[in-house]
Amino acid sequence: MIIRKTRAELEKMRRSGLLVYEILQALGRMVEEGISTWDLEIAAVKMMADAGAKPAFKGYYVPAAGEKFKYVLCTSVNEEIVHGMPNPKRIVKSGDIVSIDTGVSLDGYFGDSALTVGVGELSAQTKKLLKVTEESLELAIDKVRDGNRLFDISETVEKHVVGNGFSIVREYVGHGIGTQLHEDPQIPNYVDRRNENPRLREGMVLAIEPMVNAGKPEAKVLKDKWTAVAKDGSYSAHFEHCVAVTADGPWVLTRP
């Protein structure tokens, strides 16, 4: 069931979204050679606590893993697509890319966003991967308009990514968001005719999150039961924003 939000509810989600933005921007500035992904986790925990927010990810139960997630961040490095776990032993180096995904709840409403940051000198191919992935999100955001359909978003991401020589991760998708972290509808980054294709209506809020591999699209989950990686070991990028459908067009809740 797709839940449409009132203007008052969107304003609450905006507060959560802007906090997530501030946290991610601060963490992005921290990413440099020699830092650990655990350093990012510690900083995020403090920022959430200082803001009086609840972490969206910590304590989230996933049946496939059979347990609750233990961290406030997902920190996914290089070939890790999503759900990487912060670790004091994971030290980033020049040439790495670090995807940081996080969410919070304020006053019962969620915000969720992600970005991928390069460390030091990146190859031309890696720079292109980050650029194309972020561009695909921006192009998709422009499709979040009353009367459009969900597949307008999916097709836009897919065409831009594949047209630039990269591949879409199919196992992980975007989602609706509101008083729950994950709500209907699911938002694949490719057109899957087996899925429903609802019309977008004012008050819907969509967490759009392209996950793009430099190589082949196939993913696998590591023995830790959480970390999803590109099967072929290629780099993977991830960007995400929460976007509301309004009468005036797309409203990105997770940035100023």
Q: In the chain, where are the structural domains located?
A: 7-252
Q: What is the second-level CATH architecture of the domain 7-252?
A: Alpha-Beta Complex (3.90)
The model's pLDDT over 200-226, given as tens digits with 9 standing for 90+, comes to 999 999 999 999 999 999 999 999 999
Q: How far apart are alpha carbons 251 and 248 in whole angstroms?
A: 8
Percent of the chain with pLDDT over 70: 100
Q: How far apart are alpha carbons 84 and 222 in whole angstroms?
A: 10
Judge contact between 121 and 34, C-beta under 8 A. Answer: no
Angle, CA 55 vertex, CA 78 and CA 4 arms, to 5°: 100
Give the model's pLDDT for residue 15. Answer: 98
Q: Which residue has the tokens 């921290």?
A: 30
For the segment 127-142, the average pLDDT, to the nearest whole number, is: 98
Q: Per-residue confidence at 195, pLDDT binned at 50, 70, 90?
A: confident
The model's pLDDT over 229-248, given as tens digits with 9 standing for 90+, comes to 999 999 999 999 999 999 99
For the segment 15-27, the average pLDDT, to the nearest whole number, is: 98
User: Structure tokens of 143?
Assistant: 């499709």
pLDDT at 194 over 90: no
Which of 107, 132, 96, 104 lies closest to 23 in space, CA to CA?
104
For the segment 152-157, the average pLDDT, to the nearest whole number, is: 98
- Helix axis angle for 150-163 and 124-141, nearest 10°, is 160
Give the model's pLDDT for residue 243. Answer: 99
The model's pLDDT over 33-60, given as tens digits with 9 standing for 90+, comes to 999 999 999 999 999 999 999 999 999 9
Give the model's pLDDT for residue 205. Answer: 98
Q: How far apart are alpha carbons 136 and 40 in whole angstroms?
A: 26
pLDDT at 192 over 90: no
Give the model's pLDDT for residue 32. Answer: 97
Q: Per-residue confidence at 136, pLDDT binned at 50, 70, 90?
A: very high
Which residue intervals of the chain are DSSP H helices? 7-30, 37-51, 124-141, 150-163
Question: What phi, psi does 125 have (nearest 5°)?
Answer: -65, -40
